[in-house]
Amino acid sequence: MAKLPIITLPDPILRGRSAEIEQVDDATRRLIDDMLETMYAAPGVGLAAVQVAVPRRLLVCDVSDKDEERRPLALINPEIVRLGDRTRPYEEGCLSIPDVTVEIERPASLTVRYVDREGKQQELEADGLLATVIQHEMDHLEGKLIIDFLSRLKRDMVVRRFKKQARGAM
Ligand code: NI
């Protein structure tokens, strides 16, 4: 396994729509393993493939507690089947936007259909943090980021800050 570099704001790759994965093969499984290693090292609870500059419809997550056994999940071509009526606010961060958090209110439960690492169709019911993480990562597949939930003024401020930082690093 290998740790991959995580791209950050304002990298335009983050704003594109990720493409379907047509075939789940060894390369896909290697990417999943690398993404999990990258996510655990960050550390983070979720990562979309586009965040490692691979604009494909794939996300990994693990919401287990630190002292618990790991429960890695990989969702390929995920689709929401059902969203719950109740909502849940959560202060979300993003590995592609370091040091920024945004409180976002999303459906508290959902059912998602996806293809697993063996290429099999699966359905998963999720609530709590897992439901939040899945929705956050699925937003990435559409090029949507947590800062899009801010007012335009606040969003522009964050983007400007990251553009300035990116210039400074060059
Ligand atoms: Ni994110």
In DSSP notation, 20-85 reads: PP----HHHHHHHHHHHHHHHHTT-SEEEGGGGT--BSEEEE----TTSPP--EEEEEEEEEEE-S
- 7, part of any domain: no
Q: How far is the CA of 92 from the centre of ligand 1 (A)?
A: 8
pLDDT, tens digit, 9 for 90 and up, residues 99-157: 999 999 999 999 999 999 999 999 999 999 999 999 999 999 999 999 999 999 999 99
The model's pTM is: 0.96
- 64, part of any domain: yes
Backbone angles phi, psi at 47, to 5 degrees: -155, 135
Clarify whether 125 is annotated catalytic.
no
- 149, part of any domain: yes
Q: How far is the CA of 8 from the centre of ligand 1 (A)?
A: 10
Query: Please, what is the end-to-end C-alpha distance for the chain in angstroms?
Result: 29
- 5, part of any domain: no
- 121, part of any domain: yes
SS3 12: helix
Catalytic residue chosen out of the listed positions 20, 91, 137, 142:
137
* Residues in a beta bridge with 76: 58, 115
- 6, part of any domain: no
pLDDT band at residue 1, thresholds of 50, 70 and 90? confident
Q: How far is the CA of 14 from the centre of ligand 1 (A)?
A: 10
pLDDT of amino acid 170: 58
- 3, part of any domain: no
Backbone angles phi, psi at 128, to 5 degrees: 60, -145
* Domain with 20 in it: 12-169
Instruction: Report how many domains make up the chain.
Output: 1
Residues lining ion ligand 1 (Cβ < 5 A) are 94
Q: What are 85-89's contacts with CB under 8 Å, separation 24+? A: 88/128, 88/131, 88/132
SS3 15: helix
* Residues in a beta bridge with 75: 59
Q: How far is the CA of 47 from the centre of ligand 1 (A)?
A: 6
pLDDT, tens digit, 9 for 90 and up, residues 57-102: 999 999 999 889 999 999 999 999 999 999 999 999 999 999 999 9
CA gap 128, 81 in Å, rounded: 17
Statement: residue 12 has pLDDT above 70: yes
Q: How far is the CA of 140 from the centre of ligand 1 (A)?
A: 7
Q: The domain that contains 21 carries what CATH number?
A: 3.90.45.10
